[in-house]
């Protein structure tokens, strides 16, 4: 990894640039796929699945027999791990439920807010080189807690028309019954527009490659909501003299192995740590099955030596990382200064992979600097907040003059008249 020492704040934006891809070109490739699926439905889905995934599907939906087979193929130890992760995620997300609370803003004027699950949601689960069955938990669990009436899941099949059994096992555990063996931009189009086989949904969730991301962004412009803008995975670590170089290197590599377009950043106040981490990365790389992917990601990555943790935190807040690890002497104190981050990991024994799998927090997070304005997926992502109000006759007498005065001032006489006619009665 490139090593930089004490850069000036004016240099930070340049140093912290993410890998740049031609999004306009990708969207130009994706747009015809979306249009064809909207026009020809299942026929287009079948064509693009054959073209991109090299598999001809007679049926899109996973059968009961395939679900039963998956339950047999997943090792017991993995089943137990997935079940434990599910319990933790359920506990954390159930606690996010807001109890209905009525507020009397003035005598006999009562307002409240109610959470209602989004009726139809679509979950996209990548299934290529890294089949993300953990994402089934991260999306399926809060969708069920929120009370979404229809949950469908799309994930690509392999060349034999099979879906990764761990994905199917996890979907069954969560209670998702409608699972379709399609991936890529065509899956996003199917969920956005609906086909004879695949239901149209109101909101689409889930990570994916650049084509999936572009498809989500495009369908969001035509009436289908999405969880958030997304990009390649990333981590930023702030480490001081107390950090363990082996731990830090392992955390950097855990994100670098996601994809060649991932980015990892280390900000350290301890210059010797920088060299130690670089050496550990070289050593640990040799043991990774995804070595070539991680090596490519490291080309986009940097180690930056800074004078103190306050400066490092200021730089981190400029970057707004998806994942932020604070491997410092007093992580709780430094954590109070976090302004922009998707998810924060405090201390030397809190690896980012804990949040990816089983601690309970959600791993679907804003990337590419969007943590400055977006939150990660939570229970709130799957509900709408509907406001209610009830005003009695006396309550309208109490608030009527305020309403009518404001309406008259905005020259909206009918608004004022809606109060007048009631008060005259």
Q: Which domain holds residue 27?
A: 23-226
Q: Which residues are annotated as a binding site for NAD(+)?
A: 124, 186, 209
Range 157-178 average pLDDT: 95
What pLDDT does residue 208 have? 87
Domain boundary (188, 207, 226) is at: 226
Phi-psi region of 289 (alpha: psi -120 to 50; beta: other; left: phi over 0): alpha
Mean per-residue pLDDT over the chain, rounded: 95
Whole-model pTM: value is 0.94
Domain boundary (226, 261, 281) is at: 226
What pLDDT does residue 425 have? 83
Chain centre distance of CA 121: 14
What pLDDT does residue 4 have? 96
Instruction: Name the residue with tokens 């490659």.
Output: 209
Tell me which of 323, 336, 363, 424 is the catalytic residue. Answer: 323
Residue 370 is assigned to a structural domain of this protein: no
Q: Percent of the chain at pLDDT above 90? A: 92
Q: Which residues are annotated as a binding site?
A: 124, 186, 209, 233, 255, 258, 323, 356, 410, 415
What pLDDT does residue 23 have? 79
Residue 371 is assigned to a structural domain of this protein: no
What pLDDT does residue 63 have? 96
Half-sphere exposure of 199 (CA within 13 A, CB side): 17
Claim to verify: residue 176 and residue 47 sit in the same structural domain: yes
Claim to verify: residue 168 and residue 283 sit in the same structural domain: no
Contacts of 266 (CB under 8 A, 6+ apart): 1, 236, 237, 239, 248, 252, 274, 277, 302, 303, 304
What pLDDT does residue 24 have? 85
Claim to verify: residue 293 and residue 222 sit in the same structural domain: no
What pLDDT does residue 127 have? 85
Q: How many domains does the chain have?
A: 3
**DSSP-derived secondary structure for 264-284:** EEEEES-HHHHHHHHHHHHHH
φ, ψ dihedrals at 154, nearest 5°:
-115, 135
Claim to verify: residue 58 and residue 155 sit in the same structural domain: yes
| Helix or strand holding residue 114 (H, E) | strand 109-117
Q: What is the CATH number of the domain that holds 293?
A: 3.40.50.1980
Claim to verify: residue 154 and residue 219 sit in the same structural domain: yes
Tell me which of 257, 280, 322, 352 is the catalytic residue. Answer: 322
The CA-based angle 287-288-294, given to 5 degrees, is: 130
Q: Residue 20 — very low, low, confident or very high, per pLDDT cuts 50/70/90?
A: confident
Q: Assess whether 323 carries a catalytic annotation.
A: yes
Q: Which residues are annotated as a binding site for substrate?
A: 233, 255, 258, 323, 356, 410, 415
Claim to verify: residue 302 and residue 160 sit in the same structural domain: no
Residue 360 is assigned to a structural domain of this protein: no
Residue 369 is assigned to a structural domain of this protein: no
Query: How far lies 285's CA from each of 155, 211, 253, 288, 292, in Å?
Result: 29, 28, 8, 5, 9
Claim to verify: residue 183 and residue 202 sit in the same structural domain: yes
Q: Measure the CA–CA gap between 293 and 299, rounded to whole angstroms.
A: 10
Residue 363 is assigned to a structural domain of this protein: no
Residue 105 is assigned to a structural domain of this protein: yes
Residue 21, pLDDT above cutoff 80: no
Residue 120 is assigned to a structural domain of this protein: yes
Q: Measure the CA–CA gap between 113 and 36, rounded to whole angstroms.
A: 41
Q: Residue 131 — very low, low, confident or very high, per pLDDT cuts 50/70/90?
A: confident
pLDDT tens digits, 41-68: 999 999 999 999 999 998 999 999 999 9
Phi-psi region of 160 (alpha: psi -120 to 50; beta: other; left: phi over 0): alpha
Q: Which of 229, 365, 235 lies closest to 303, judged by CA? A: 235
Claim to verify: residue 51 and residue 142 sit in the same structural domain: yes
Domain boundary (164, 196, 226) is at: 226
Q: Assess whether 322 carries a catalytic annotation.
A: yes
Claim to verify: residue 203 and residue 257 sit in the same structural domain: no
Quick count: other Cβ atoms within 10 Å of Cβ 44?
A: 21
What pLDDT does residue 338 have? 98
Claim to verify: residue 189 and residue 87 sit in the same structural domain: yes
Residue 315, pLDDT above cutoff 90: yes
Q: Residue 262 — very low, low, confident or very high, per pLDDT cuts 50/70/90?
A: very high
Claim to verify: residue 265 and residue 200 sit in the same structural domain: no
Quick count: other Cβ atoms within 10 Å of Cβ 42?
A: 16
Residue 131 is assigned to a structural domain of this protein: yes
pLDDT tens digits, 336-389: 999 999 999 999 999 999 999 999 999 999 999 999 999 999 999 999 999 999
What pLDDT does residue 13 have? 94
Claim to verify: residue 111 and residue 220 sit in the same structural domain: yes
What pLDDT does residue 332 have? 98
What pLDDT does residue 73 have? 96
Residue 392, pLDDT above cutoff 80: yes
What pLDDT does residue 254 have? 96
């Amino acid at each position: 990894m490139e090593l930089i020492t004490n850069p000036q704040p004016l240099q930070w934006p340049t140093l912290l640039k993410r890998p740049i891809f031609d999004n306009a070109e990708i969207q130009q490739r994706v747009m015809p796929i979306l249009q064809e699926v909207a026009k020809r439905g299942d026929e287009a889905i079948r064509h693009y699945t054959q073209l991109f995934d090299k598999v001809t599907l007679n049926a899109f939906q996973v059968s009961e027999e395939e679900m039963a087979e998956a339950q047999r193929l997943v090792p017991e130890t993995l089943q137990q791990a997935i079940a434990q992760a599910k319990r933790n995620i359920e506990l954390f997300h159930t606690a996010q439920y807001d109890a209905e609370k009525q507020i009397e803003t003035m005598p006999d004027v009562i307002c409240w807010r109610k959470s209602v699950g989004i009726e139809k949601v679509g979950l996209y689960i990548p299934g290529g080189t890294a089949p993300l069955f953990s994402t089934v938990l991260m999306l399926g669990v809060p969708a069920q807690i929120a009370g979404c009436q229809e949950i469908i899941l799309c994930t690509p099949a392999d060349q034999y028309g099979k879906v990764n059994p761990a994905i199917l096992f996890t979907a069954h555990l969560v209670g998702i019954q409608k699972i379709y063996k399609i991936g890529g931009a065509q899956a996003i189009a199917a969920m956005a527009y609906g086909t004879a086989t695949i239901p149209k949904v109101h909101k689409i969730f889930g990570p994916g490659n650049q084509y999936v991301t572009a498809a989500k962004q495009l369908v969001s412009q035509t009436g289908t909501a999405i969880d958030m803008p997304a990009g390649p995975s990333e981590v930023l670590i702030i480490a001081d003299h107390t950090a363990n170089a082996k731990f830090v290197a392992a955390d950097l590599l855990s994100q670098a192995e996601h994809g060649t377009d991932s980015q990892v950043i280390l900000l350290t106040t301890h210059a010797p740590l920088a060299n130690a981490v670089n050496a550990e990365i070289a050593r640990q790389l040799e043991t990774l099955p995804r070595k070539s992917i991680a090596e490519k990601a490291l080309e986009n990555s940097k180690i930056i030596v800074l004078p103190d943790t306050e400066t490092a935190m200021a730089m981190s807040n400029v970057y707004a990382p998806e994942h932020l690890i604070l491997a410092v002497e007093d992580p709780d104190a430094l954590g109070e200064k976090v302004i922009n981050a998707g998810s924060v990991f405090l201390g030397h024994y809190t690896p980012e992979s804990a949040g990816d799998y089983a601690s309970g927090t959600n791993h679907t997070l804003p990337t590419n600097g969007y943590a400055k304005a977006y939150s990660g997926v939570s229970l709130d992502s799957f509900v709408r907040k509907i406001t209610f109000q009830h005003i009695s006759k006396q309550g309208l007498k109490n608030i009527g003059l305020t309403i009518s005065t404001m309406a008259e001032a905005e020259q909206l006489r009918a608004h004022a008249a809606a109060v007048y006619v009631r008060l005259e009665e």
